[in-house]
Structure 1
């Protein structure tokens, strides 16, 4: 029987870690005409018009009977001033999606990182804690953690207190049948995780350690999840995103060729110890 060498990779998604070619990692590639015609992004912000680089007033809003009057030249601002105003409004809009809980501050940190981080990867201990909480509290039948636990019990050679290396594939199959950790629960719509991460791009799961003795096992698993803090054309074309000013501002700051603020990779990692026994 072949020896199992640890750590060993159990699973990784088909989508790559650090895939900078993904559509939601593009920036600065769209003109005003494209934003208006292809994505119907005519009215982006209550505070400023990013196309004419002018400040707005309450009279400029679409529901106002005075909407679309020509603005005075004195209302003109620079590209940098316009971006600053849009980011401030972006932060204000984000509060509606992060009302409570220990993760509500994350969206502001991530918006700040988009504004000043120049596309560098982002990580935070609160994100790692959120991933761990999600994994440990998932009691559904499709929980990836519970499926790994079940597969370990089935695959361990209990008579010899060992794990046959050829059984690693069974652990991989168990994960493939599970629901990978995401933040798409109802509470994630309001606790800050739905707006910061929601779905995920790539996941890697590794077995770091495994100890078997007296019909019991103890193991350590590593979960590495990566998401993209960026929007693509599919996102903004959906009514559920386009209807909110937050996403319109986000898309324009990222994709409009006058701004071109870079999206970034969000890295989330945690290790979890599990244990079980053979009856």
Structure 2
């Protein structure tokens, strides 16, 4: 029985890397009437009306005691499309604070918003994002978490006589990983306030490579690389969910991305981390 040769890819998601065909990667594809009628995106900002390009005052803010004093008339100055977008991005920076006020990764959202504002669709990668991904992998210990599944199934099939992993058992390892819970930033509390919940949250595509596997008479140690990729963009199903729609941050984001006056381009975020997994005989 031959041993598997590493490095080797042992898992890839059905969802592809570098996938621009999804709805959350579309931009500038919706007119004003659709945004208002279909998604209820009438009130977007406290600062500017993106539909009329008009600066807002205290008389326009629904939360102000002066709201409605002059009916539906906007009394602020007109803005250009560029000025309006700049004001909306500044407001996004402010409204992101409740989601990213703690921890070493809280500043990532500012960098990603800057990349979004450039509207070039340039892939985003940052060493701090890799660290956050590595920390997430190391912190997951539940039974069906991917790291645990890897540990249990590598240990199950190790061939101590031949000091390796049987090549014909790789399919068993892949099958087990398909039923595991892949790493993503959706913890009950921490990811909602450390910035990772709004920068990544889910991970669209994942690949797992075993880079090296060492076996001796007493146990084994594997070096495993995880590569994840997500889309920094909102799709229709996102904005229809109350958990997104209720927050001004996401309403502004959707309008900046999808409104045909703006059309700021979403982009891919890529992260990578290598962790060691080991077990005893």
TM surpasses 0.5: yes
2:209 is equivalent to residue 220 of structure 1: no
In structure 1, the partner of 2:232 is 229
In structure 1, the partner of 2:254 is 251
- TM superposition shift of 1:69: 3.4
Aligned positions, number? 277
Give me the CA root mean square deviation: 1.3
Deviations 1:70-118 (A, max 9, x none): 235x711100000000000011000110011001101111111100151
Q: Is contact 2:119-2:266 (8 Å) kept?
A: no
Deviations 1:141-178 (A, max 9, x none): 11211111111111111122121101001211221222
In structure 1, the partner of 2:183 is 181
- TM superposition shift of 1:3: 4.0
d(CA) in 1 for partners of 2:163 and 2:5?
15
2:59 is equivalent to residue 93 of structure 1: no
Deviations 1:47-87 (A, max 9, x none): 00000000001110235232643235x71110000000000
d(CA) in 2 for partners of 1:65 and 1:120?
42
Unaligned runs of 5+ in 2: none
Distance 1:271-1:90 versus aligned 2 partners, 3 A rule: same
d(CA) in 2 for partners of 1:102 and 1:117?
26
TM-score (norm 2): 0.95
| Aligned residue runs from structure 1 range 88-237, under 5 A | 88-116=90-118, 118-185=120-187, 186-237=189-240
d(CA) in 2 for partners of 1:171 and 1:165?
10
TM-score (norm 1): 0.96
1:75 corresponds to which of 61, 74, 77: 77
SS of 2:38's equivalent in the other structure is helix
- TM superposition shift of 1:237: 0.9
SS of 2:96's equivalent in the other structure is helix
